[in-house]
Chains A and B, each alone.
Chain A
Amino acid sequence: QKEVEQDPGPLSVPEGAIVSLNCTYSNSAFQYFMWYRQYSRKGPELLMYTYSSGNKEDGRFTAQVDKSSKYISLFIRDSQPSDSATYLCAFSTQKLVFGQGTRLTINP
C-alpha cells in the first residue's frame, strides 16, 4: 500500500464550481498536513498547513483533515481560472511525504 494516494486527475470544472481535492494516507505517524499549489513551470507554493482534525479556512480555501479515516481534503469555493494548477498534498512526521499531485483546470 502506498504511503500517500492522490488522484492525479486531470480534473476540469466550470468557473464558480466548488472543487474537492482529496488524499488518503496510511501512516498513522503523520502529524502535519499541507496543501501546495503549483503553477506550470513554477515551484510549489504552500496553501494550507494544519495539524489537527477538522476544518481550517482561508478565504475561498478550506482544508479538512480526518485522522480517524486517514483522509484529507482541500475545498475551493467559487473557483476561478487563476486556480488552475496542480495541487499537491503533503504529510509530515520526521520527513515530508508528497502526493503525486492533481492537475486542476477551471474553465471560464
Chain B
Amino acid sequence: SQTIHQWPATLVQPVGSPLSLECTVEGTSNPNLYWYRQAAGRGLQLLFYSVGIGQISSEVPQNLSASRPQDRQFILSSKKLLLSDSGFYLCAWSAQAVPNSPLHFGNGTRLTVT
C-alpha cells in the first residue's frame, strides 16, 4: 500500500531564517506531488505541484519554492521566512496514470514563524 511521510510535524522558526520541509511517498511510482497550505477559515491553497523529477509548477507567487530531486521526494523551501508564511503545510500525492485520481495527504507540518 502507498504511504506518504511528511516531517517535521511542528516547526517554530524566526523571521528571516531558511525553511526546508520534506515529503516522501512510498509504494507507488511517478506520482503527481503537491504542496498545499491550509490557513484557518481560508481552506486549502495549492502552492506547487509536480508531474515529474525537476518539473515544478507554481500556483501563486510567494516567498516559497519547491523542488523534486527524486521521483518520490518533494521539498518545500524558503530562503528567508516571513511572518505570513506561518500555517499548516500539507504534502499530497495522486496517481499520475489515473486521470482525476483523488489526492492523498500527509499529516502536515504546522509552521509558526516568530
**Residues of chain A whose beta carbon lies under 8 Å from any beta carbon of chain B:** 8, 31-32, 34, 36, 41-46, 49, 51, 88, 90, 92-93, 95-96, 98-101
B106: chain A residues within 8 A (beta carbon): 43
Residues of chain A with a CB closer than 8 A to B46's CB? 95-96
Contact of B104 with A46 in the complex, beta carbons under 8 Å: yes
B90 to chain A: which residues have CB within 8 Å?
43-44
Contact A32 B100 (CB under 8 A): yes
Interface residues of B in 96-114 (CB under 8 A from A): 100, 102-108, 110
Give the size of the chain B interface in residues (CB under 8 angstroms).
17
- Report the minimum CB–CB distance from B73 to chain A (whole Å): 18
Is the beta-carbon distance between A96 and B43 smaller than 8 angstroms? no
Chain A residue contacts of B41, Cβ below 8 A? 8, 100
Cβ of B105: which chain A residues have Cβ within 8 Å of it?
Answer: 36, 43-45
- What's the least CB distance linking B55 to chain A, in Å? 16
Residue of A45, A49, A96, A98 with highest tally of chain B CB at under 10 A: A96
Q: Does B83 contact A (CB under 8 A)?
A: no
Q: Which residues of B contact A101 (CB under 8 A)?
A: 43
**Are A99 and B43 in contact, with the CB atoms below 8 A?**
yes
